[in-house]
Amino acid sequence: MKSIIRTGILMLLVFAVGLLSAQTTQELVVPLTNAGESGTLDVNIMYGSIKVVGTSVKDVIINVSTEQKKVEESSKNGLKRIANNSFGLTAKEEDNYVKVNTDLSNKNVMLEIQVPQNFNLKLSALNDGEITVDNINGELEIHHVNGGISLTNVSGSAVVNTTNGDVKVSFADITENTPMAFITFNGDVDVTFPANLKASVKMQSNMGEIFTDFDMVMKKGTPKEVKDTEKGVYKVSLEEWIRGDINGGGPEMTFKNFQGDIIIRSK
């Protein structure tokens, strides 16, 4: 089923569809106010995965499927539970800003979204899936909690963080003089940049190794004093980063994890 709704500058799509089986797929076409031009996609889901691909489309195309999370059979006062197989997704567009969210907690949502190649992304997920991005040029803000993040053939800038999962990014090109950050707690951080990258990097891995094939000029490290006066207790700790310059230095690039390796590659 395809739904195409045009209401000018402001467009709101909401659908609640009964599932005929454990999983089904719906397609939505979200018209942009300025078709084919740069904009922003803002997606927030609780459970599931997000995949965004930059293509030659003029609008935003969303393919959404859901899968009921497994639950034990239950009854109440002799009545048998009937599974609630409906789902709700909201998409709102205004001046090329498209906001997509769902607040469902009893099923996984899988989103596959096509956008114009020049598009900014703000993607956020909580559990049970990964976030993947391919062939996008823009400002990328990607956040996950329990899941990996993979960005392939992207250009522009990125701030990427997750708690449990790998962070893997491959840049075709980058925006000059723009700070970036790549952070996870449990997982590897693996980022590939163009060989002409100019950056001042700071790196920290508590229980892993750090690797690079860039000719990095290392800086003498000085531990940073961190003060905490919470609850009337004065505490000072030392926070130490490994710092270096690539191709003479440039904007600050942060790479951090607790358990896992950090890999900074050139191509």
Strands (DSSP E) found in 145-209 = 149-161, 167-174, 180-183, 189-193, 199-205
The β-bridge partners of 25 are 65
What the block records as the tokens of 149 is: 């993040």
C-alpha torsion sign, points 213, 216, 221, 224: negative
More confident residue, 201 or 88: 201
Q: Which amino acid is at 147?
A: G
Pairwise CA distance, residues 44 & 33, whole Å = 22
pLDDT in tens, 22-37: 457 788 999 999 998 9
Is residue 126 pLDDT above 80, yes or no?
A: yes
What the block records as the tokens of 133 is: 């991005």
Nearest to 165 by CA among 148, 190, 145, 188: 148
pLDDT on residue 22: 47
How many C-beta neighbours within 10 Å does residue 252 have? 14
Percent of the chain with pLDDT over 70: 75
Q: What is the pTM of this model?
A: 0.83
Is residue 221 pLDDT above 80, yes or no?
A: no
pLDDT in tens, 160-207: 999 999 999 999 999 999 999 999 999 999 999 999 999 999 999 999
Is residue 125 pLDDT above 90, yes or no?
A: yes
Nearest to 52 by CA among 130, 137, 132, 154: 132
pLDDT on residue 12: 52
Residue 13 · residue 59 · CB < 8 Å: no
pLDDT on residue 75: 54
Is residue 56 pLDDT above 60, yes or no?
A: yes
How many C-beta neighbours within 10 Å does residue 253 have? 21
Is residue 8 pLDDT above 90, yes or no?
A: no
Number of H helices, E strands in the chain: 0, 26
